[in-house]
A and B are shown apart, each in its own frame.
Chain A
Amino acid sequence: MIETIKQLVEAWGPSGFEHHVRALIREMVVPYADAIETDGLGNLICRVGSGGKKVMVAAHMDEIGVMPIFREPKSGYLRFTSIGGLIQTTLLGSRVRFEHGAVGVIGAHDYFHAGRTTLTDLDQFFIDTSDGSGAESVTAGMPGAFWRPLEVQGTRLIAKSMDDRIGCAIAVEAMRRLNKQTANTVYFVFTVQEEVGIRGARPAAYGIAPDIGIALDVTSTGDMIRNEKMDVALGAGTAIKIADSNHIVPPQIRDWMVARAEADGIMFQRELLTLGSTDASGIQITRAGVPSGVISIPCRYVHTQSEMVDSRDVEASVALLTGLLTHPITL
């Protein structure tokens, strides 16, 4: 599974421009799906099984990134805006990659002196895409994604876009393990544009009209970094979401997940998050409502370029998802 994770986290796909990730995932899952299609917004929808309950599993393909908007005529600096939730303290000296292969370095005025305390807004930064020849191949409208390779250290996995390529990897692995054997009709949906407002999952859910939704996404941790007080730790198992900033998981969904984890002896923790939400909050309010839950992967340093997860939690998440989908569902 490490090889799958490596390919996915190192792929290029900022929100709105997920086509490379979609092609990569499609190739991975083709042997394990009964039907595959891409909807009008670019969501990759893979149906497995028929009969039973209709379950929509969502993992988002997009990552946060940068969108160049204006090359200053005199200075040549390339100004940009955010794609998704950029944290400005992660930017200086970062590398971004553009679709055609050009590399950019993010700089800012006077970063060495006054900038140490004054760099608070995106419009103080710029991207340097120079190659020494004087020509510029990067123009406004060409998005960029951060570039870091995957590092594996013991059970820790460190990469950019763990959010949410780790969720995609879990979905792909679950499809492999199910190998088309499920008592339900499962739509594995690799969604677009979650980072800019859960824009892919809602239309996808409208088109599928599922009975149940399950999102796979990262969550923060309460160990070591204390972004918020939460009882989630790396290595303590898959995280079953209770609620987050925009979603309360219906008790019957939450209890169904807990029961499966206990029955299968899967290490799990209960998760509450105030920092954000997932595709499930969009699926839940589609059409006449779809009870939805989340299998969360504990992750430190979310929305930095070194998001860290634990492979034990990843494996537990695959086991839980596979267990939930294999058996008939009664809620």
Chain B
Amino acid sequence: MILRQLSEAVGVSGKEEAVRAIILPAIAAHTTEVRIDPLGGISALKRGTGASPIRLMLAAHMDEIGFMVRSIDSDGLIRVSAVGGIDDRILPGTRVRLGAAGTIGVFVWTPIHQNHDQNAPKLKDMRIDIGASSRDEATGKVSPGDVGTFDSAYMEIGTRMLRGKAFDDRAGCALLIDTLANEGGDPYPVDLLAAFTVQEEIGLRGARVAAQRLDPDIALILESTTAHDVPNPALSPDEVGNENPTCRIGGGPVLSFMDRSMITQPRLFAFLRATAEAAGIPYQFKSQLGGGTDGGAVHIANAGIPTAVISLPCRYIHSPAAYLHRDDYDATLALIRAFIHHLPALDLRDPA
């Protein structure tokens, strides 16, 4: 499954070339007019049968969160900044890979019997140990400006659970590749403009450029989102049973009527939901509305582009080991394909 290669590739926001190198050959047989824009985003065309003039943009972002080396201390320990939304709490003791050579390091942590200050340290106070004992020794191995991310291998757990880093949004990229491949499916009635975007994690930057260049009629964003459906033993009896999971593993593709970056047009949202119902595909709503997606930039590009988002539910997103269920992946791919086939029936015109 291409998700393995995509998950293990290191492609921190702004340096996505390793991910491009996997995607370009994977889509070559299914697309034409493959272009790379000045920011490094990929766009590609998959012509439809001509049954409908609609041009649908499908977007997934290639970049992942990570770190950038800021400086090397005299004792050989490395200081880094975050690239994208890093949760400082998970860092102490976490393994990372830095720089083009993938130099292994670990975030320093204070042994428990000495950790008198129970507050979680902040990234700005943390350092990475790459095994060097002086600045000179470290200088050959990493340099300021090097980027890196979690050191984490992709794994399949049992027959249906997938584990790895960067499922946000390499899983979306995998879905887009599979959509373009359209294995065993009928030819699509609309033209697909595939956009593998850059720099989503640091401000939806590549999507803005992609939408301005492609200027589609409609857009569908493929993302991964937080599933917080694991019971919390720390809750009080009053709170148990009332927890908001955002979404659930096994609940099917997640549909967003709104997030902080975009309010989905009600008629487009209703159409997407009706598509799922008609196709018998399970779906769920996202029930915590924080965060944003490439849709935030796409829907207000040019003269405005009606945009919807479909997400995969993932536990522990933005950590070295996110969990994704294969049934959710399959159901999401089915919904994307059903949406594309249903699209000619979409009428967003104002009835008034």
* Chain A residues at the B interface, C-beta cutoff of 8 Å: 15-17, 19, 22-23, 26, 38-43, 67, 69-70, 72-75, 77, 79, 81, 83, 140-141, 193, 196, 199-200, 202-204, 206-207
Contacts and interface: CB of A to CB of B under 8 A. Distances in A.
Contact of A203 (B241, B265, B303, B352): B303
Interface string B259-288: 000011110010000000000000001011
Contacts of A79: 244
B301 interface: yes
Interface string B178-207: 000000000000000000000000000000
Contacts of B348: 40
A42 B265 CA distance: 9
Contacts of A39: 303-304
B263 A15 contact: yes
Given A70-B288, A193-B263, A196-B263, A203 B302 contact: yes
A74 B301 contact: no
Chain B interface, DSSP helix/strand/loop, else mixed: loop
B300 interface: yes
B349 interface: yes
Contact of A19 (B285, B305, B350): B350
Given A26-B352, A204-B304, 16 more contacts: A16-B265, A23-B352, A39-B303, A40-B306, A41-B265, A42-B265, A69-B287, A70-B287, A70-B288, A83-B258, A83-B263, A141-B258, A203-B304, A206-B302, A206-B303, A207-B303
Contacts of B289: 67, 69, 81
A19 B352 CA distance: 9
B263 A41 contact: no
Contacts of B304: 39-41, 43, 200, 203-204, 206-207
Contacts of B301: 203
Interface string B283-322: 0010111000000000111111110000000000000000
- Chain B interface residue count: which class? 20 to 34
29 contacts: A17-B263, A22-B350, A22-B352, A23-B352, A38-B349, A39-B304, A40-B303, A40-B306, A42-B265, A42-B350, A69-B287, A70-B288, A72-B242, A73-B241, A74-B242, A75-B241, A83-B263, A140-B257, A140-B287, A141-B257, A141-B258, A141-B285, A199-B299, A202-B300, A203-B303, A203-B304, A204-B304, A206-B302, A207-B303
A151 B305 CA distance: 39
Contacts of B305: 40
Nearest to A80: B289
A228 to B, nearest CB: 26
Contact of B285 (A16, A73, A140): A140
Contacts of A81: 258, 289
Nearest to B238: A75
A199 B304 CA distance: 9
A193 B304 CA distance: 12
Given A23-B352, A141-B285, A199 B257 contact: no
Contact of B350 (A17, A38, A207): A38
Nearest to A208: B303
Interface in B312-352: 348-350, 352
B343 to A, nearest CB: 15
Contacts of B241: 72-75
Contacts of B269: 141
A6 B310 CA distance: 40
Chain B CB within 10 A, most for which of A41, A67, A207: A41
B242 A73 contact: yes
A73 B242 CA distance: 6
Contacts of B263: 15-17, 83, 193, 196
Nearest to A207: B303
A38 to B, nearest CB: 4
Chain A CB within 10 A, most for which of B269, B287, B348: B287
Nearest to B302: A206
B287 A41 contact: no
Contacts of B287: 69-70, 140
Nearest to B218: A40
